[in-house]
Amino acid sequence: MKTQNNRAWFFVLPVLLLVAFNALIPMMTVVNYSVQETFGDNLFFWEGLTWFEQILRSERFHAALGRQFLFTGLILAIEVPLGIIIALSMPRKGFWVPVCLVTMALPMLIPWNVVGAMWNIFTLPDIGLLGYFMNNTLGIEYNMTRSPLAAWITIITMDVWHWTSLVVLLTYAGLVSIPDAYYQAAKIDGASSWSVFRYIQLPKLKQVLTIAILLRFMDSFNIYTEPFVLTGGGPGNSTTLLSIDLVKIALGQFDLGPAAAMSLIYFAITLLVSWLFYTLMTKDDAK
Amino acid sequence: MTLEIRNLSKQVKGVVHIKETSLKLEPGQFNVLLGQTGAGKTSLIKMMAGLDPIASGQVFLDGQDVTALSTQKRNISLVHQFFVNYPHMSVFDNIASPLRVAGMAKSEIQGRVEEAADILQLRPMLHRRPHELSGGQQQRTALARAIAKESRAVFLDEPLANLDYKLREELRDQLPDLFAGRGAVVVYATSEPEEALMLGGYTALMDDGYVTQFGPTAEIYRAPKDVKSAQVFSDPPINSATVRKSGHSVYMGDVGWDISPDVAKKMADGDYILAVRPNHILPYRTEKAKVSLVGRIAVTELSGSESSAHFDFDDHSWVSLAHGTHPYEIGEDHTFYMEADACLYFTPDGNRIA
């Protein structure tokens, strides 16, 4: 009879433990809350899928989800093309390369809550640099605590300022990896700079752009700290994104069941969109 | 079509890479740029193509000054030493790309691509991607692109260097026919003297950023202008030594031979540089090879039907190259015979005198 060597389990164990504490156990706690009604003194009552049904039918959830998709859509539509344009116009060699790279990386090094607080003060109508300038110097009314449009413009601008650099740096890395010979061949062919971008640079950038879009999608879809510090979800509910709404339900109203169900749905949507996008983008490569 | 360059030069940060060079190249035959690696062949080609900045000089295509014209507008082709094809396009699209950029009609593109593909035997591969092809097929795709484009000038920068031996011979045989009758000026860069001889046409010898000699290939092989040209156009390296001319004879150490009255007339008595190709030094005596050189054999090589021997004579290392196989012993003293009439004589500063 063949003797089984079980020593392999020993090597896998640390990873199993890590994954368990990192993902499985917290996740299962949430699943546990999502199917029960919770009272004080750790009293639990089985509720089945009630909370899921309630969330999926709730108009409040639909509104927050709509705002979330609008926010993420705008972020991707602005940051990806802008990032590509900036990366294309950055120098490839010489003194200015490190200067550009460090300047680009700076916003990403600032902690989320600091970014939120910075922009909050920056836009205050009475003392903020931008707020004062807009209202008192230019005479344009700009107050994001009162106008939903101003609030949206501000959170979008803040995110563009904070995260476009990520797209820039990834794209730039992709661009410098294209050998000169391709550019020369395109020149010889008589290609215009648009053809060079369309037929040489873009295909070569496909992989890094996939990663950049994926990262920007996940981050912006799950964004919490910056808009929370900046607008707190207001005015009214106009900037209440999914994560802000979730925290309100879970910690404000202490509805643990619905909040748990909502976070699982939230997680499923993020996962599904990421998977769809990644599968579509890498479909051609598999052939 | 003609391609002419006048006083073209290149400098990078004050260092001269290409010294002022003028050439007039005609279509219909191969124009070979022959020189060792680093001689400036690729730089010169890139300058002619408009890819590299030039410090001075002008480039004319068909009499038109194109110096200020961008590469895109010059209507030229360039095939590199390494294979450059667009990786995400099929072979068909690769060959068609310059035609599409030029805005040609679909039916005409189809016809031209298929014609080029037929010439280069790429028909069955038209729908494959470059990475699915062998090196030879990839380079043929690059050549097909140059042919389909029907450009004014075609630059081939050591296009066969990265191919294996057999493919190289095959493509080299085809190359002159591929571009014959197309009216384009063909410039072919190589580091192998043998290739220049096989391709015929005209050859420009390059050394250290400078064209030392330009003319019909056979002519400049027979009559190099100076020592540099003789060295560039010789493989194995040409033998050279210092000799002393006195009266009607030339002496090298204690060996001496007579020279013809014509040659003697051109040379005043004194020191000269002698250069003689290895195939004019033989291990046996013939009607022509009569000057005997006794030397100790250091290295021997047998390649195909030729055998070469390196031997030491008069403090120089000499090479003999002869047909057939010869029984050489390393370390043995052997008598070699030099053809006195095949000797080239240069003044001490390198210019050929006879």
Q: Which of B13, B73, B101, B145 to mutate to test the interface with A (most CBs of A within 10 A)?
A: B101
* Nearest C-alpha in A relative to B76: A188
Region class of A236: left (phi > 0), else alpha (psi between -120 and 50), else beta = left
Paired residues of B25 in beta bridges: B3
User: Could you state, in chain order, the average pLDDT of each consecutive group of 10 residues for chain A (287 residues)?
Assistant: 76 90 88 81 79 84 91 94 93 88 91 89 86 82 84 91 93 89 85 84 88 92 87 83 87 84 90 92 67
| CB-based contact A192 B101, cutoff 8 Å | yes
Amino acid in position A105: A
Distance from CA of B217 to the nearest CA of A (A): 28
Which residues in chain B touch residue A188, judged by CB atoms under 8 angstroms apart? 49, 51, 71, 76-78, 98
* Distance, CA of B75 to CA of B185 (rounded, Å): 12
CATH of domain B3-226: 3.40.50.300
Q: What pTM was estimated for this model as a whole? A: 0.75
pLDDT digits (tens, 9 = 90+) for B153-210: 889 998 888 878 887 888 888 888 888 777 888 899 999 888 888 888 899 988 888 8
Is the CB of residue B5 less than 8 Å from the CB of residue B57?
Answer: yes
Distance from CA of A240 to the nearest CA of B (A): 44
Q: What pLDDT is attached to residue A287?
A: 46
Q: Which residues contact B88 (CB under 8 A, 6 or more apart)?
A: A203, B129
* Distance, CA of A199 to CA of A194 (rounded, Å): 8
Which residues in chain A touch residue B84, judged by CB atoms under 8 angstroms apart? 181-182, 184-185
* Nearest C-alpha in A relative to B150: A189
- Quote the mean pLDDT of chain A: 87
**Average pLDDT, stretch B12-32?**
83
CATH of domain A59-286: 1.10.3720.10
| CB-based contact B98 A181, cutoff 8 Å | no
A:190-229 residues touching chain B, CB 8 A cutoff: 190-192, 195, 199-200, 203
Give residue B69's pLDDT band: very low, low, confident or very high (50, 70, 90).
confident
Q: Where are the domains of chain A?
A: 59-286
* Distance, CA of A145 to CA of B29 (rounded, Å): 79
Cβ of A66 under 8 Å from any chain B Cβ?
no
Q: For residue B276, give both structure tokens.
A: 């003689």
| CB-based contact B86 A195, cutoff 8 Å | no
B:201-230 residues touching chain A, CB 8 A cutoff: none
Asked if the model's pLDDT at residue B34 lies above 80, the reply is yes
Q: What pLDDT is attached to residue A1?
A: 59
Q: What pLDDT is attached to residue A2?
A: 66
Q: Which of A236-250, A266-280, B2-16, B284-298 has the highest mean pLDDT?
A: A266-280
Is the CB of residue B224 less than 8 Å from the CB of residue B233?
Answer: yes
Q: What pLDDT is attached to residue A161?
A: 93
* Partner residue facing B71 (CB), from A181, A188, A200: A188
DSSP characters over A28-68 = HHHHHHHTEEEETTTEEEE-TTHHHHHHHH-HHHHHHHHHH
CATH of domain B239-346: 2.40.50.140
Q: Percentage of chain B surpassing pLDDT 90?
A: 4
Q: Where are the domains of chain B?
A: 3-226, 239-346
pLDDT digits (tens, 9 = 90+) for A86-136: 999 998 888 899 999 999 999 999 988 899 899 988 988 888 888 888 888
* Distance, CA of A107 to CA of A97 (rounded, Å): 17
Distance from CA of B175 to the nearest CA of A (A): 20
Q: What pLDDT is attached to residue A170?
A: 93
Domains B3-226 and B239-346 share a fold: no
Q: Is the ipTM of this complex over 0.90?
A: no
* Partner residue facing A187 (CB), from B72, B88, B149: B72
Q: What pLDDT is attached to residue A84?
A: 94
Q: Which of B86, B128, B143, B154 to mutate to test the interface with A (most CBs of A within 10 A)?
A: B86
Q: What pLDDT is attached to residue A198?
A: 83
* Partner residue facing A187 (CB), from B71, B82, B97: B71
Distance of CA B315 to CAs B184, B189, B296, Å? Answer: 49, 35, 11
Cβ of B80 under 8 Å from any chain A Cβ?
yes
Q: What pLDDT is attached to residue A273?
A: 93
